[in-house]
Amino acid sequence: MTMFESIRRKLAGDVRTAIDKPAEFRADVEYTIQGVRRGTISPRDVLIPAVSTLATLAFVFVLLLPIYWVLMIALQGEGATLYSTDSAGLIPEQFSLDAFVWVVGDLYIPGAIFRIAVPFTDIVYYFEWPRIVFLDASNYVDSTSDFPRYFWNSLFIGVATVVIAMSLIVPAAYAFSRREFAGRMKLLYGYILFTQIGGGLGIAALIALYTIFSSTGLTNNKLVLAVYYAAMAVPFNTWLLKTYMDSIPVSYEEAAIMDGASPFRVAWEIVLPLAKPGLATIFIFIFLTGWMEFIVAQLVLRPENYTLPVGLFSLVDTYTVPWGRFSAFALVYASPIVFVYMFAQRYIESGLSFGGVSG
């Protein structure tokens, strides 16, 4: 089973678990209630976990209160403001989804006509795919945001950053972890130290970066920006993945080599599948680098190539801020990261803990 097939099966299993979880929770509650009524389960054994669960939920609610407040402001539409206590209630009096509709805009699959000509004949078949509309925003708001364009720009930069960075990080981490060569550790420490010093230069580095981009005509280029993000992500994430690969027993590779596996098969079918938690962790870190970075993107991109954080900032006017739309934009902008983290959570926790590998 390949690594991608394993990840696909894990994701399919997570989806099935998420769908079946409410039914399982309901069955557990009914089983517990019936056990208490029959006397086979002590009320004390139920009360202590119930109180602990309620306390945990209360703690989580306090942590999520700022996000809940942002959601409430977004649901109040254009009339919401941060400068009045009328918008600060836990349950506001008026709800409206107009701000979210303004952010998302029209949702539809465009129509198309396919033409297929039969070779050596004059027969031509035409197939028409109708335009399928899921949401017509014009029925609810007068105008829509540029969120779809910002989204595709951010997605392009995020995916390009991941592809470029991973293509460098994975072989580099494997080499640092498994191969011996002169100056290996000095090169690794210098690798980290050089980039940290460069990052600490702050505004001076930004000025130099903008000067380089301007002098070479590379401003307003999304691919060049992705290369810059990948360069910033490579050192730290190489160190992170190398540390995780160190925890994978070498005996697995030795056994595969004894069975006649080539070095490429050893790395692809032995090391990388066992390094999935580390790979998932650095995947999230790298994607977030391209998805959330604001300062450099604001510096080098023009409006047609704005990313989501720059597009969010562009909503702030000199004298006014549309807080309802601003909040809705921020929530929709953050939602993909939440879903990705939820599916990759198990790998991220393992990757950050640098735990050992069970046999």
3-state secondary structure of 322: coil
Q: Is the per-residue pLDDT at 7 higher than 70?
A: no
Mean predicted confidence (pLDDT) in 7-17: 75
73 Cβ contact partners less than 8 Å away, ≥ 6 residues apart: 80, 82, 87, 323, 324, 327
Mean predicted confidence (pLDDT) in 110-135: 84
Mean predicted confidence (pLDDT) in 248-265: 82
Kindly calculate the radius of gyration of the chain based on its CA atoms and give it in whole angstroms: 26
Q: Is the per-residue pLDDT at 25 higher than 90?
A: no
Contact 240, 281 (CB under 8 A): yes
Q: Is the per-residue pLDDT at 161 higher than 90?
A: yes
Whole-number pLDDT of residue 159: 93
Whole-number pLDDT of residue 356: 45
Distance CA 279, CA 1 (A): 17
Whole-number pLDDT of residue 355: 47
Contact 308, 151 (CB under 8 A): yes
Mean predicted confidence (pLDDT) in 168-188: 81
**pLDDT tens-digit profile of 52-68?**
989 999 998 888 888 88
> E strands of the chain, at which residues?
107-109, 112-117, 124-129, 132-135
Whole-number pLDDT of residue 350: 61
**pLDDT tens-digit profile of 312-331?**
898 887 777 888 888 889 99
**pLDDT tens-digit profile of 227-245?**
989 988 888 888 888 888 8
Residue of 301, 321, 322, 297 lying closest to 309 (CA atoms): 297
